[in-house]
């Protein structure tokens, strides 16, 4: 029996034939319903940026490929699934320092614009949360209804402590008070100000 010398029919591929005239990689693209394209021989940067829409809203560069259930982009490299925003930051700035995380200043989880990303600690990242907990009755971070006070209560957490912000009759006043208290206490809770400057 002679060894087959057939190769993939995709232009300039040259890999060993697997099935239906294609190498294994191109065959998997076809059976997966994907458009046939060059396999991973293209540079990482080129492959990464091909999955980005730079014309999205607010200057965000939207990740157009797969995302996890929380909305963060996925990027596969050397058999590992990586967070797309972390890859973007590393392509622009180099390795992420140990113990640090990448924060979306724009609060858009699918954004990979390096200008919208920054390196911060996990504690600082917690300060930059943009929404209330799922169990929140007010829907506003740091604001809850107090039966005792018969009003909206403001409380902001920092480093395991809670800071009291007072009682308020209207939800709007309580929301403004919570935002002001966070701005006073948190070094990285600048989401609202950042959006005003960049939208």
Please compute the mean of the pLDDT values over residues 148-152 and round it to a whole number: 91
SS3 call for 154: strand
Strand partners, 19: 22
**Res. 117: pLDDT tops 90:** yes
Q: At 96, is the pLDDT very low, low, confident or very high (cuts 50, 70, 90)? A: very high
DSSP assignment letter at 198: H
The mean pLDDT value for 35-44 works out to: 81
Q: Which pLDDT value is given to residue 179? A: 86
What is the reported pLDDT for 38? 85
Average pLDDT over residues 14-36: 90
Closest CA to 141 of 199, 198, 68, 191: 191
pLDDT at 168: 94
Rounded-to-integer distance, Cα 195 and Cα 199, Å? 6
* pLDDT above 70 as % of the chain: 86
Give me the percent of the chain exceeding a pLDDT of 90: 48
The larger pLDDT score, comparing residue 43 to residue 100, is at 100
CB atoms within 10 A of CB 181: 20
Q: Is the pLDDT of residue 82 over 80?
A: yes
Residues 6+ apart with CB under 8 A from 25: 15, 39, 40
Question: How would residue 176 be classed by pLDDT, with cut points 50, 70 and 90?
Answer: very high
> Does residue 199 surpass a pLDDT of 80?
no
Cα 139 to Cα 150: distance, rounded to the nearest angstrom: 18
Beta bridge partners of 104: 117
User: What is each CA distance from 106 to 18, 25, 44, 57, 167, in whole angstroms?
Assistant: 45, 37, 25, 11, 30
Rounded to whole angstroms, how far apart are CA atoms 8 and 4? 12
Domains contained in the chain, CATH given: 1-35 (no CATH), 42-120 (no CATH), 125-198 (3.30.730)
């Amino acid at each position: 029996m002679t060894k087959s010398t057939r190769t993939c029919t995709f232009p300039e591929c040259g890999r060993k034939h697997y099935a239906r005239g294609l190498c294994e990689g191109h065959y998997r693209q076809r059976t997966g319903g994907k458009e046939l394209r060059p396999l991973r021989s293209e540079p990482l940067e080129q492959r990464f940026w091909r999955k980005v829409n730079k014309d999205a809203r607010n200057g965000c560069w939207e990740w157009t490929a797969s995302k996890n259930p929380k909305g963060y982009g996925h990027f596969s490299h050397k058999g590992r699934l990586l967070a797309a925003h972390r890859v973007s930051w590393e392509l622009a700035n180099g390795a992420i320092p140990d113990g640090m995380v990448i924060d979306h200043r724009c609060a858009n989880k699918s954004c990979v614009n390096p200008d919208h990303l920054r390196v911060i600690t996990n504690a600082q990242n917690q300060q930059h949360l943009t929404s209330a907990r799922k169990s929140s009755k007010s829907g506003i971070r740091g604001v809850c209804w107090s039966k005792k006070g018969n009003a909206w209560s403001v409380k902001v957490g920092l480093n395991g402590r809670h800071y009291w912000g007072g009682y308020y009759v209207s939800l709007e006043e309580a929301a403004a008070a919570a935002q002001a208290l966070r701005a006073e206490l948190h070094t990285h809770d600048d989401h609202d100000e950042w959006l005003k400057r960049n939208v």
